[in-house]
Amino acid sequence: MVVTSAYPASPQSKEALEIHIKELLDLGVIRKVVHNEEVEITTPVIVAWHNGKSRMVGDFRALNTYTVPDRYATPKIQIALTQISQAVYITTMDALKGLHKNVVTPRAREYLRIIVYCGVYEYLRMLFGIKNAPSHFQIMMNEIFPEELLEGLLIIYIDDIIVCSKT
């Protein structure tokens, strides 16, 4: 993996990138890499559009090819459906931007550098697109709610939580 160039972006995508970058900087999810820092790895970013809304997406395919996959199993849909079918009340929640709650180790940050037309940024918190990010988040969520999972009160699928109750 090496330093790559930023992908070209339309004026509309550049504007969207600026908004996303500012939001992530304000939230402490990323930081700007200053000009005198040594940068060996960067990942280009694109702006994906869906229903008029933009999303910043890093092209981490190269990094993911070198990543040894976790063997942590996510919940099976059939078991979840059985659990839901026995509930009288069902409540759903989403951990908004859940992966951004996980701090990235300083050693891993150099692999999570992105390049856009206006510079290089480094993720300080986890993001979607990294091969093992979902399984690490699943492990974290399962460790937070062990009793509720054992009692069948919760179904957790990455950042989605379903509360199942009979009363």
Domain CATH code at residue 61:
3.10.10.10
Domain that holds residue 77: 11-165
Quick one: pLDDT at residue 17? 93
Q: Could you read off the pLDDT of 100-115 as tens digits, one per residue?
A: 988 999 999 999 999 9
Task: Tell me whether residue 1 is in a domain.
Answer: no
Task: Tell me whether residue 107 is in a domain.
Answer: yes
Quick one: pLDDT at residue 52? 87
Task: Tell me whether residue 6 is in a domain.
Answer: no
pTM equals 0.83
Q: Could you read off the pLDDT of 42-90 as tens digits, one per residue?
A: 888 888 888 888 988 889 999 999 999 988 877 888 888 888 998 999 9
Task: Tell me whether residue 99 is in a domain.
Answer: yes
> What residues contact residue 154 under an 8 Å CB cut-off, 6+ apart?
145, 148, 161, 162, 163, 164
Q: Average pLDDT for residues 146-166, to the nearest whole number?
A: 91
User: What average pLDDT does the chain have?
Assistant: 89
Q: How many domains does the chain have?
A: 1
Residue 54 CB burial class (10 angstroms; 0-12, 13-18, ≥19): middle
Residue 74, φ and ψ in degrees, nearest 5: -85, 160
Task: Tell me whether residue 2 is in a domain.
Answer: no
Res. 1: pLDDT tops 70: no
Task: Tell me whether residue 26 is in a domain.
Answer: yes
Quick one: pLDDT at residue 2? 61
Q: Which residue has the higher pLDDT, 33 or 35?
A: 33
Least trusted range by pLDDT, from 4-8, 31-35, 148-152: 4-8
Q: Which residue has the higher pLDDT, 166 or 33?
A: 33
Task: Tell me whether residue 3 is in a domain.
Answer: no
